[in-house]
């Protein structure tokens, strides 16, 4: 069991030339989050006293993406190898702590595997390794006749017999900081690549009679780094497969586990069903018995029990109550809140709208910046005209209102409780309760030379 405090160093300075992108490699995304975010989250779960990230290319962008995290940043201005990268972090580390070294381009890094390493790290150097049928490009783990690790040899420096070794280094390792500090000072770049290899500390540990062990991990994907867009796509699919597997374990019905994308955190209750091609972004919660139709995109939303989302619906920053029916082809935009038993049908768009219990907007309507009461029916083609070209205004529709088809409600306006708006009306004034209101032009006319006014925004 680990007794010493823990410092974590994350090596994230590489440019990622093979990504063919101006964006720093570690800011490319897996599951809707930066590659480095996955590694930082793993580090946090280990409860370290310090997290030090060594950065290089695109440093300002990388740091700005993690402003809310308690991270110590160490610059590696020249890319002189992994040993040189750790040298940049060394001044920030606590001498009486253990140090765990992680790689910023390995997003599926396993918290459990890291804990296994740390359980043995108080008095020795512990390395994460794995067996690879084709080890080309990897540093080989060289063991003695007793099975103890006595060297890690990089591909370009390996002999023919060493190249045949299929146990390879992952780059993840842990040790007491006081050992690391001593070994880092002794690194040289006398090798084929003229870089300061962090792996050379194994040789120093053996010389100092410090035990060196390698823990072989079976899950190769948890130690696989990303160096190209091909790698990115492959790891994305592995990540999504694992997310789908977790949902299935929880009892979620997935119509096709290979056709779901989770780009954030999806919480599910019992009896949830998800059809093919759905994308979940940010923080999404699906209540008991929720059914999500094919090809929906749902972002930062809470959907309560019994609600059915029909295919091709887009939901963004919205809360939906119980036993509601949404879609198909509906779009719920930020700020929208739907109470229980509401209906929002095909080709309906809502933005910053609050809809109370039992109300229905079933066809071809736009409702923006609106407060809608209980048991309201809004007919097909209705529009709340909330924008005058410079400013937005609110429409209030009180309980039990019936709005006829093809009506325009020009905000700011209040439609009184129990009122009826005749189809085809353009309403520009507040309407009384329990009354039929209609406003239809008797003739069509044109005004030549009329100019649309230029409106000034109100402060």
d(CA 401, CA 419) in angstroms, rounded, equals 5
d(CA 139, CA 136) in angstroms, rounded, equals 9
DSSP code at position 32:
T
Tokens of 226: 């990303």
Phi/psi of residue 442, each to 5°? -85, -20
d(CA 297, CA 317) in angstroms, rounded, equals 11
Phi/psi of residue 268, each to 5°? -135, 145
What is the number of other CB atoms lying within 10 angstroms of the CB of residue 300?
17
The DSSP element (H or E) to which 400 belongs, if any, is none
What is the number of other CB atoms lying within 10 angstroms of the CB of residue 55?
27
What pairing do the DSSP bridges indicate for beta strands 383-385 and 325-326? unpaired
Give Cα 435 distance to the centre of its chain: 50
Cα→Cα distances 109→61, 84, 174, 380, 399, Å: 23, 23, 14, 52, 54
């992952």: which residue's tokens?
Answer: 170
d(CA 186, CA 86) in angstroms, rounded, equals 13
Task: Determine contact, residues 306/288, Cβ cutoff 8 Å.
Answer: yes
Entry field: residues in the chain: 459
What pairing do the DSSP bridges indicate for beta strands 140-143 and 149-153? antiparallel
- CA diameter of the chain: 101
- Name residue 152's beta-bridge partners: 141
Q: Which of 235, 259, 252, 241 is nearest to 38 (CA)?
A: 235
DSSP string of 121-147, one letter each residue: -SSSEEEEEEE-SS-TTSPEEEE-TTS
Task: Determine contact, residues 43/70, Cβ cutoff 8 Å.
Answer: no
d(CA 246, CA 69) in angstroms, rounded, equals 27
Give Cα 18 distance to the centre of its chain: 23
Q: Which residues are catalytic?
A: 363
What pairing do the DSSP bridges indicate for beta strands 50-55 and 72-75? parallel
Q: Exposed (0-12), middle (13-18) or buried (19+): which is 195, by Cβ within 10 Å?
A: middle
The SS3 of residue 421 is: strand
């Amino acid at each position: 069991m680990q007794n010493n405090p823990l410092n974590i160093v994350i090596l994230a300075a590489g440019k990622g030339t093979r990504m063919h992108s101006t964006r720093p490699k570690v800011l490319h995304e897996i599951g809707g989050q930066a590659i480095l975010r996955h590694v930082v989250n793993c580090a946090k779960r280990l409860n370290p006293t310090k997290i030090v990230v060594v950065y290089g290319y695109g440093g300002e962008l990388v740091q700005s993406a993690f402003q809310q995290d308690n991270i110590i940043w160490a610059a590696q201005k020249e890319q002189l190898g992994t040993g040189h990268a750790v040298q940049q972090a060394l001044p920030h580390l606590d001498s009486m702590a253990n140090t765990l070294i992680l790689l910023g381009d390995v997003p599926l890094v396993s918290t459990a595997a890291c804990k296994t390493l740390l359980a043995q790290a108080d008095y020795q150097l512990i390395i994460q390794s794995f067996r690879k049928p084709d080890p080309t490009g990897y540093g080989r783990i060289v063991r003695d006749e007793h099975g103890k690790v006595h060297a890690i040899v990089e591909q370009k420096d390996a002999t023919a017999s060493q190249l045949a070794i299929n146990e390879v280094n992952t780059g993840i390792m842990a040790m007491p900081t006081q050992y690391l500090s001593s070994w880092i000072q002794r690194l040289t770049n006398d090798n084929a690549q003229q870089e300061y290899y962090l792996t050379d500390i194994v040789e120093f540990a053996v010389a100092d009679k410090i035990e060196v062990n390698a823990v072989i991990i079976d899950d190769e994907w948890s130690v696989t780094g990303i160096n190209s867009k091909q790698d990115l796509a492959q790891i994305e699919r592995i990540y999504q497969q694992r997310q789908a597997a977790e949902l299935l374990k929880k009892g979620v019905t997935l119509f096709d586990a290979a056709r779901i994308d989770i780009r954030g955190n999806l919480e599910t209750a019992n009896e949830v069903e998800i059809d093919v091609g759905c994308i979940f972004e940010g923080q999404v919660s699906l209540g008991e018995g929720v059914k999500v139709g094919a090809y929906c995109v749902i972002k930062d939303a809470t959907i309560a029990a019994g609600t059915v989302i029909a295919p091709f619906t887009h939901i963004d920053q919205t809360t939906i109550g119980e036993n509601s029916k949404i879609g198909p082809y509906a779009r719920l935009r930020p700020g929208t809140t739907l109470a229980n038993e509401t209906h929002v049908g095909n080709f309906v768009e809502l933005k910053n709208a609050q809809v109370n219990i039992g109300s229905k907007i079933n066809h071809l309507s736009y409702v923006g910046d609106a407060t809608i009461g209980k048991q309201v029916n809004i007919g097909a083609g209705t529009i709340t005209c909330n924008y005058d070209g410079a400013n937005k205004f609110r429409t209030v529709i009180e309980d039990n209102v019936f709005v006829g088809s093809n009506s325009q409600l020009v905000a700011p306006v209040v439609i009184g409780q129990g009122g009826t708006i005749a189809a085809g009306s353009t309403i520009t004034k507040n309407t009384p309760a329990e009354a039929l209101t209609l406003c239809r032009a008797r003739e069509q006319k044109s005004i030549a030379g009329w100019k649309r006014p230029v409106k000034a925004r109100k402060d």
